[in-house]
Structure 1
């Protein structure tokens, strides 16, 4: 089947996060590059189905094209694909039959926005959740308790959340989930559980990265890793995941070094470092870091430059360590060895990897304007970027 639609739209993504800080689904936003373009909903479902098959994880489609969304309402997406419907389309009598039919066949529907008029009686029960932007939520300014006579008949998902404080407040107001990346907290040395976040938990991995960087003997590396058996187990799980693509099972850390070599092992230690924190509030940050690393690697896969691919992976995975350690990169990079080009991007915001990093952040922010600007700066085609993004999301799903 043709995937021409990947050259006609810009794709963005963000997570659904529940009150336990677990990522329960991924939102995929779809922006048409030309407002009057005729887009094929079947092609979209085929491209999405390669990442989230019917028996796979849940995803939500947020389509910023009324014509494409109307066509999508006439299809039969797999039940793990949720469909977001703007309130103006939900209120249109012309869409009632399609919405009711989708609901009847098991699709999960979400309504976006605050209704300015009463919805048709038939469609109201079809929506499992409403999506309410933080800026439009009356309860934010009126308090956590709803005003007299005001109630919500549909559980809500809070969008527009950019900090842990916003996330916690949304759950206190009764949100079933928040939508977005709560990673914009200002860096501080505030303690979590009486100590600087992550320092003790991550010390072993930082030491191991330094030893691998120096290519120390296997015996010394094994001795370091044995100080935390849970980290050894997690590292083996990552290396043996389908995303790694090895044809044989890695049975020990020694075996991993023999099979991978020091340089390839460093990238998976980087992944381990970015996902080892036990702070539940950092789970969305760790989730974002993994996807950043995989996405940045995929953006340069066609270069056939293994060194560049590994460095781009590390750059993306390490890009949120400042949040995890609550230290600026200028301090962190004194203890964690990284290649010069990675250092330039993370510490100075410069160098050859910075434009790729800008593109990844544009995709995460679901901004069409920033997506266009970043793509132009890299001189990459939209279809090439979208394919890299979908490959990264596929690999991330294999790691989860």
Structure 2
């Protein structure tokens, strides 16, 4: 059966966070890819498409905060055929793509959604008169800041004449300086990779607590690490003990009875998963801010994906622990506000990990593959899969499984 006959086989979704001015996560935009052509939306018969979106939403929202909103791109075909009604209006925002033009059918479809209580967003608005009929119906108007070259004059021109009740969302915000300028200009929502790029704080040094945690992460990756040391680390921190019990008792290791011993819990998980759990918790605890929590999730997801995919790539030597650490450490500069080079100087990491985090070496290709999935850059993803001799279906399955694993490790899964 071909992908056209069965659209469920090749469904793949990336999600990108949308932040508030306080850098809390407001929600996510879902980016769909279907089939081998790396297209960003699914174009199929109306009911099938609605079903794919509904199934894709279920896949994507697992682990999201219950209050997080979800933006879903709608081309003209989806909009006119009322596929939006397959989505829960309390969670989802129908985003009308930039190439959809207001006409009799599209405006009628938008009004039907609006009258039914759905929220609407208009994509890539920069003042076009032809899009004004959609803007009059919209709850959210998105402006592509990169396309406007981050020019405040052009941005203000796009903002002119907008309804007073509309929420402005700046997309493709690439750095913290632009984020702050837009925040002061009146934008309420922000999307882009500014949050994953380091905002270096002059004179900022690692605190003793941060240094201890990073050294512990490094210690956990040593081949001669003693299991007894793991138990002593967890037992020394009541918070870690509580979270370990909560994790083991909720995800179904072994018997039904509750686990009340640290050693028993670690034995049931096994040494490898115990170390991975502790690493994930340590990364999540490095910075308590909402933005850092999203970065921690991305880092743990990257770590597990890189570890999982290593044996399937064309690499001569597969070192899962090394790959896990590479993904785990890859966003530390953004989390801590310190240059990556300064962080790496204080840690005795494997040279291949240091190279990858510095943008070089063999592991860097796998790190970039994970990043291209996160960003929905399907063309780059395809190129990197070919370079690494990886099957796209297998890689995507591993990516989805790694996401589920990361959610459980960090306590985001609904099952918990």
CA shift, 1:177, in A, is 1.9
1:182-331 aligned at under 5 Å gives the runs 182-183=194-195, 185=197, 188=200, 190-191=202-203, 195-197=204-206, 199-212=207-220, 213=222, 214-216=224-226, 218=228, 229-230=238-239, 233=242, 242=251, 246-247=253-254, 251=260, 253-278=262-287, 280=289, 282-297=292-307, 299=309, 311-325=322-336, 326-329=338-341
Partner of 1:21: 23
Q: Determine the C-alpha separation between the residues in 1 that align with 2:171 and 2:391.
A: 29
Residue of structure 2 equivalent to 1:380:
390
* Correspondent of 1:368 among 368, 378, 385: 378
Is the 8 Å Cα contact of residues 98 and 124 (structure 2) preserved in structure 1?
yes
The change in CA–CA distance for 1:210 and 1:182 in structure 2 (over 3 A counts) is same
**Alpha-carbon distance in 2 for matches of 1:229, 1:168:** 39
Classify the secondary structure of the residue corresponding to 1:91. Answer: coil
Tell me which of 344, 354, 362 is aligned to 1:332.
Answer: 344
Residue-by-residue CA offset, 1:257-292 (whole Å, 9 max, x unaligned): 333344333222322232223363544433432332
Contact 1:60 1:81 in 2 (8 A): yes
Q: Larger relative CO (CA 8 A, sep 6+): 1 or 2?
A: 1
Q: CA deviation at 1:363?
A: 1.9
- Which secondary structure state, in structure 2, belongs to the residue aligned with residue 165 of structure 1? helix
Specify whether residues 259 and 342 from structure 1 end up closer, same or farther in structure 2 by C-alpha distance, changes over 3 A only.
farther
The corresponding residue for 1:76 is 86
Compared CA separation, residues 309 and 207, structure 1 to 2 (3 A): closer
Counterpart CA distance in 2 for 1:279 and 1:105 is: 38
Instruction: Give distance in 2, aligned partners of 1:308 and 1:297.
Output: 8
The corresponding residue for 1:49 is 58
Contact in 1 for aligned 2:179/2:194 (Cα 8 Å): yes
The gaps in structure 2 that reach 5 residues or longer are none
Contact 2:82 2:109 in 1 (8 A): no
Matched residues in 1 for 2:250 and 2:321: separation? 17
Q: Deviations over 1:203-248 (max 9, x none)?
A: 3323433554443473x65665677655655566566664xx5346
Aligned partner of 1:391 among 401, 406, 415? 401
1:204·1:227 contact (CA, 8 Å) conserved in 2?
A: no
Q: How far, CA to CA, are the matches of 1:331 and 1:149 in structure 2?
A: 44
Does residue 117 (structure 1) correspond to residue 119 (structure 2)? The answer is no
Residues 38 and 378 in structure 2, CA contact (< 8 A), matched pair in contact too? no
User: Quick check: 2:253–2:268 contact (8 Å CA) kept in 1?
Assistant: no
Distance 1:350 1:59, change over 3 A: same
- Aligned-pair CA distance for 1:331: 5.5
Which range moved further: 369-378 or 251-260? Answer: 251-260
1:60-106 CA distances to partner (integer Å, 9 max, x unpaired)?
Answer: 2235x654565564652223233211244252332122222223334
Q: Answer whether contact 1:112 1:130 (CA < 8 A) is retained.
A: yes
- Call closer, same or farther: CA 1:8–1:231 in 2, change over 3 Å: closer
Q: List alignment gaps of at least 5 residues for structure 1.
A: none
SS state at 2:169 partner: strand
TM (normalized to structure 2)? 0.74
Report SS of the residue matched to 1:275. helix
Asked if the contact 2:79–2:110 (Cα under 8 Å) also holds between the matched residues in 1, the reply is no
Structure-1 residue corresponding to 2:145: 134
After superposing on structure 2, the runs of 4+ consecutive aligned residues of structure 1 that deviate more than 6 Å are 34-37, 143-149
Counterpart position of 1:168 = 180
On the 8 A contact 1:182/1:285 being kept in 2, the answer is no
